[in-house]
Structure formats: C-alpha cells, structure tokens
Homo-oligomer: A and B are copies of this chain.
C-alpha cells in the first residue's frame, strides 16, 4: 500500500465526462489498496473566463479580488471530482486551499507556499477517503485567498506529496511522459522511462512545457518522486523523475533537447570596456521587472565591448526603450539593437559530465547544416545556443539524430 498524490490539469478535468474518467482511474488505484490524494486544476478555459470577467470590471484587477474570483475555478472542480468518485461508490471529500490549509505568503496571484497542514488529510486518508484538493490556491496568514500563479497546481501536488511524505507524486498531462524532444518537431522523439531531477530542471528551464519549473524545483528540494503520465491513456508508466544517476555507463550522454521560441535578443554595441558596465545596462532592466535569461559580453580589440542578452519577446520593446532612454547616452554605447527572430536550442544530459567533446559535436552538427550560432551558454549538464528562428526545427532534428536520441 502506497500513498500517492495524483495531479490532474485543466484538460484532464475539461468537462464532466473527463472528470468521470479521472474518477475511474483513481478508483483503479484505490482498488489496489493505495491511499490517494487528488489535486485538480480548474476546467480548461475557466481560469481565463474568470480573469476576463474581472478585467471587464477593472482592466488591471486588484490582485486580492482577482484571487477571490479565480480560485473558484478549482473549487468547482474539486466538488465535481468528489461527486464523480462518490458516484463510483468511493468515499471522497474535497478541500479548498484554505480548508487544507495551504499557508502561503501574501503575494496575491503569485504566492509561494510556506507550509501545509496535513492533519485533516491524513485523518481522512486513514478513514478510507480519497481526498480531493484544489490546486493552485492557498490562504495567507490573515485568511485571504491566494493563488500560486499559472501552473501552480503542479506545485500544489508536489508540496502536498512532500508534506504527506507520499511515495510518489503523479502528474497527469496531455502527453504520456517526458520525450527526448517535442514529437511535433521530431516525430522520432522517444519517451524517456527515467530522467534525473537535474536534467528535468534544465529541460523545464530551457523551454520544455511538460512540467512547471517551480514544481520541479520544489520536488528537488523535498526529494519528491515525480512521475509524468498521460491522463488520456489507460496504460503506460510515463516518465519517472529520479534523484539517482544510476549506472551512468549505460545512460545516453544526452537525455533530451529543449527549445524556446519566446526569447528576443538585445545587443548593446560599442560600450567602453570598463568595470560596472554590466550593472549599468542590466540594473534599469531589472528595476523594470524584465526577466533576463542569457547574458554574453565580448571584449573587442578597440577598447570597447559588445553586450548581448535575451529577454521574453513580449518585453523586448520595453527593454529597448529603457536602454535608449536611460542607458545609451549615459554609458556612451554606439548602438542598441533588438532581434526577436531568434530561437534557443538546448541539449541536456547528466552524461555530459563524464564525456568530453559534447559541445564540439553539437557545434559541428549545426555547422554542417550551415546554421550560425549567435550565442552560447553552458551549465554542467546543458549546452544552449541561440540561432536564427527559421533554423529551429532543422537544428532540433539534426541534433536529435546526431546524439542518437531516437534509438531505444
């Protein structure tokens, strides 16, 4: 008998029929003697509907009241899920984030979980109930309803698994696991049976949408065994995210290829090469709450330097204005350019640690296809490059083949 937390996202609870099929799956696990906690999101589309309602009233809605409204999405789903389980003859009981209580800080719309009171849930599990918990929401110390931000239901699942010391946290999604890369780009992409936590974290941060990076971080911190599964298929073990790098000899060097079309590149040309330049450029950007991803600085021969960084495409113009208005004259930069026709491709694998030449193999593969590399960034288990957006699919395909990811 195991204690399992199962998290179901918006498409898994899209309508009463899907919720009934979710309940049937939970019933099968329950019949095996497991204790089950189900975490559900709002029905797909519901969160957006509620945000639209709020914006009809107030274009930039007050975050406390927005959370009051948006949190009703999951509240409806927990009721429906509990009913669907009861209809199958299973004892079930729903909890909102407040009822659990999932204590968060008071950062409305992007709250962070501080603690979870597992007392009631444990009691219910011991009494034979399936416990259904609203994802994505919590309550602050003053009793105000908070939400964790988009994708927060994954975090709720992982946090509950940590608090309950669950044997496994299963994340049910539209796909049946983590793939070597997006099968829509490379049809030969292969589902991974296992992937290490570090690799998953890099894949998530480099653009893989299967798991929210925040929930992966949380799982890493609390050593929660995560498994990604399809809510649309009856069979399959999905992908297990492990903490052990077991038997690296037999592991492939590269586990997966992630990519991201959401970034834009900003280049500050002809900056005098002296200390403090990076701060003078990025300080005002950070103050404007613009997130920066990759950063590169190259010193030229003429005593000036070129400074390049990437931001989200939606924020490129904002960043450019800040630089041109507040920074360019001040630091004496020659020119400031933006380019949103770029893409980032990353190869990820713990095997890199014990293999040399991975980077050069990557660069050679891209060079053979005539794909120019604009930026490079590396970590111990990841190499990311920025290329022209139009080469994205080609780059992913040739890298997938070069690192033999299609082979089982």
Contact = CB atoms under 8 A, between A and B. Distances in A.
A76 interface: yes
Nearest to A73: B72
Given A62-B86, A86-B65, A79 B98 contact: no
A87 B76 CA distance: 28
A74 to B, nearest CB: 9
A84 interface: yes
Copies of this polypeptide in the complex: 2
A188 to B, nearest CB: 41
A405 interface: no
A362 interface: no
B80 A54 contact: yes
A61 interface: yes
Interface in A81-103: 82-84, 86-87, 93-94, 96, 98-99
Contact of A69 (B61, B75, B98, B99): B75
A399 to B, nearest CB: 46
Nearest to A52: B16
A57 to B, nearest CB: 4
Nearest to A94: B68
A394 to B, nearest CB: 46
Contacts of A61: 83
A56 B145 CA distance: 28
Contacts of A50: 76
A68 B16 CA distance: 16
A166 interface: no
Q: Classify chain A: how many residues form its interface, as a range.
A: 35 or more
A87 B83 CA distance: 38
Nearest to A43: B53
Contacts of A87: 57-58
Contacts of A84: 57-58
Given A69-B80, A82-B62, A86-B65, A57 B96 contact: no
A260 to B, nearest CB: 34
A66 interface: yes
Contact of A79 (B66, B75, B94, B143): B66
A82 B72 CA distance: 16
Nearest to A57: B83
B62 A83 contact: yes
A266 B99 CA distance: 48
Interface in A126-184: 143-145
Interface in A27-62: 50, 53-54, 56-58, 61-62
Nearest to A139: B99
A112 interface: no
A16 B57 contact: yes
11 contacts: A19-B57, A50-B76, A58-B84, A58-B86, A58-B87, A65-B79, A65-B82, A68-B79, A68-B94, A69-B79, A72-B75
Interface of A: 16, 19-20, 50, 53-54, 56-58, 61-62, 64-66, 68-69, 71-72, 75-76, 78-80, 82-84, 86-87, 93-94, 96, 98-99, 143-145
In the A-B complex, list the 5 residue pairs whose CB atoms are closest, starting with the nearest.
Answer: A69-B79, A72-B72, A68-B79, A16-B56, A58-B83
Given A61-B83, A72-B75, A99-B143, 19 more contacts: A19-B57, A20-B57, A53-B76, A54-B83, A57-B87, A58-B84, A58-B87, A62-B86, A64-B93, A65-B82, A65-B83, A65-B86, A66-B83, A68-B78, A68-B79, A68-B82, A69-B76, A71-B75, A99-B144
